């Protein structure tokens, strides 16, 4: 951890009492700042506030007092809080700089930084890179951090010059960076997402591109080459561009040719040897291979990870087999593109569980991907919209249910031996669940209950 003096006696407002906010507040206090934390809601655990106050941190909950904007010199904002929030708007009007927690983490970070963003695949890619860089490591270790669930400021305090931090960064987090400069940046893909937050797709794309805004010719940008738009976006970076492609040979990058994956002409691994299923995971593997090779990792370590890594929880996660039906949890599929990728990962008949928060989309785009779907179970705000797409695709068995818990026994009834039962909602979870993780965990619990009941018969 770098020792910096820029926060000594500085009045800093931390907006949001989530994990990143709590860790940012504690770090700022350690750096000598005068910290106030504000959240509309009090934490469920009162010990959280006690811990903060014992470190000299002021905590205000229940409202967003606008005068806080004039009483502080900097705001560290929870990335999920929109810029339309009245206190954020007041801070902007008062001229307060507004950053997010990864920016603060970067300021004290001693280790090299690899950063990953994208609409889909960023958690899997972040995990793969971390595992690859940690495999057979002789000094230090590789840490995952950021949007993957581990606050970057927490990792930055313990990462040394012998370590490396691999950070998953969301578009929300990237809006709040000023100096953050990854040595290696990865953009897995960019589709349409979070337009309710950003206001437009163009703004969303600009937010994603901020991952490379501070890079120089000494740094690297690894970017998906399978879209003309993404190729054009790479021209906006000052970094060395390293393309990856599943569809075409890119001699200066990572690519699939025939049965094998290559990096700059060097054969790395047979595609069929990668444990996690789906063409999208070929793309994730290519991006991770490029990052690992740039960071100096050997092929043996890279291949060991790709042959053994079974996937990230909630991302086309194999749960278990119940009477010859394989259950997969893809609760992280909070948009149409992610659901498309999940459906394309299987050749077996599928019983699809889908639906969730209504963001104003319809689902006709999924119709070509429904070719293996035997039956659909729809729930949430978009249940009828999802069912309408299924009807247009000619799916004969379409049922409605209350939630993922009640969907599991119904899916078992509709399935046959050899089928895949897939939760891939194509929607955010917030209409029924606080997070996609909670939705996925409820799904897993329901499967475990089903398995027990079947064993007892």
Whether residue 452 is annotated as binding a ligand: the answer is no
Whether residue 121 is annotated as binding a ligand: the answer is yes
In this structure, are residues 37 and 20 in contact, taking their beta carbons and an 8 Å threshold?
A: no
169/118 Cα distance (integer angstroms) = 8
Whether residue 123 is annotated as binding a ligand: the answer is yes
DSSP 369-400: GGGGEEEEEE-STTHHHHHHHHHHTT-SEEEE
Whether residue 124 is annotated as binding a ligand: the answer is yes
Whether residue 95 is annotated as binding a ligand: the answer is no
Token pair 């060097």: residue:
266
Edge-to-edge strands, sheet with 350-354: 317-322, 325-329, 420-423, 350-354, 373-378, 397-400
In this structure, are residues 73 and 11 in contact, taking their beta carbons and an 8 Å threshold?
A: yes
255/282 Cα distance (integer angstroms) = 9
Q: Render the burial of 413-450: b for 16+ CB within 10 Å, e for the rest.
A: ebbeeebbbbbbbbbbbbbbbeebeebbbbbbebbeeb
157/106 Cα distance (integer angstroms) = 10
Whether residue 80 is annotated as binding a ligand: the answer is no
- Tell me the backbone φ, ψ of residue 417, rounded to 5 degrees: -55, 135
Whether residue 119 is annotated as binding a ligand: the answer is yes
31/17 Cα distance (integer angstroms) = 19
Q: Render the burial of 22-56: b for 16+ CB within 10 Å, e for the rest.
A: bbbbbbbbebebbbbbbbeeeeeeeeebeebeeee
374/19 Cα distance (integer angstroms) = 41
Residue positions in the annotated binding site?
Answer: 118-124
Residue positions in the annotated binding site for ATP?
Answer: 118-124
């Amino acid at each position: 951890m770098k020792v910096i003096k820029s926060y000594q006696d500085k009045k800093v407002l931390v907006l949001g009492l989530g994990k990143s906010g709590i860790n940012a507040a504690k770090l700022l206090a350690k750096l000598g700042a005068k910290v106030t934390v504000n959240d509309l809601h009090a934490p469920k655990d009162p010990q959280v506030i006690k811990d903060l106050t014992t470190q000299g941190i002021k905590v205000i909950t229940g409202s967003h007092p606008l005068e806080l904007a004039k009483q502080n010199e900097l705001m560290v904002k929870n990335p999920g809080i929109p810029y339309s929030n009245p206190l954020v708007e007041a801070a902007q009007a008062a001229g307060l700089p507004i950053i997010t927690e990864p920016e603060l983490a970067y300021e004290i970070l001693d280790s090299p930084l690899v950063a990953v963003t994208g609409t889909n695949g960023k958690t899997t890619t972040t995990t793969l890179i971390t595992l690859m860089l940690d495999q057979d490591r002789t000094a230090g270790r590789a840490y995952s951090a950021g949007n993957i669930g581990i606050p970057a400021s927490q990792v930055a305090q313990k990462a040394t010059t012998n370590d490396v931090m691999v950070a998953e960064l969301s578009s929300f987090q990237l809006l709040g960076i000023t100096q953050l400069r990854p040595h290696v940046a990865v953009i897995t893909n960019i589709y349409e997402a979070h337009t309710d937050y950003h206001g437009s797709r163009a703004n969303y794309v600009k937010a994603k591109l901020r991952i490379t805004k501070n890079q120089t010719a000494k740094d690297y940008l690894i970017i998906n080459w399978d879209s003309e738009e993404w190729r054009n976006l790479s021209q906006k970076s000052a970094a060395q561009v390293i393309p990856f492609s599943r569809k075409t040979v890119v001699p200066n990058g990572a690519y699939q040719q025939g049965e094998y994956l290559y990096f700059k002409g060097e054969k790395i691994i047979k595609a069929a040897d990668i444990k996690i299923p789906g063409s999208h995971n070929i793309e994730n593997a290519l991006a991770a291979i490029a990052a690992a090779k740039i960071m100096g990792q050997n092929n043996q370590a890279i291949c060991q990870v790709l042959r053994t890594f079974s996937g990230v929880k909630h991302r086309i996660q194999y749960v278990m087999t119940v009477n010859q039906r394989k259950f997969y949890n893809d609760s992280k599929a909070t948009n149409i593109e992610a659901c498309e990728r999940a459906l394309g990962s299987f050749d077996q008949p599928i019983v699809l569980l889908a639906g969730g928060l209504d963001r104003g989309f319809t689902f006709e785009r999924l119709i070509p991907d429904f070719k293996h779907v035997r039956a659909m179970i729809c729930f949430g705000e978009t249940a009828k919209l999802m069912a309408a797409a299924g009807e247009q695709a000619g799916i004969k068995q379409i049922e409605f249910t209350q939630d993922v818990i009640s969907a599991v026994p119904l899916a078992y009834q509709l399935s046959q031996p050899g089928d895949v039962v897939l939760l891939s909602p194509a929607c955010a979870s917030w209409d029924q669940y606080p997070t996609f993780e909670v939705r996925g965990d409820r799904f897993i619990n329901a499967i475990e209950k089903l398995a027990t009941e079947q064993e007892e018969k």
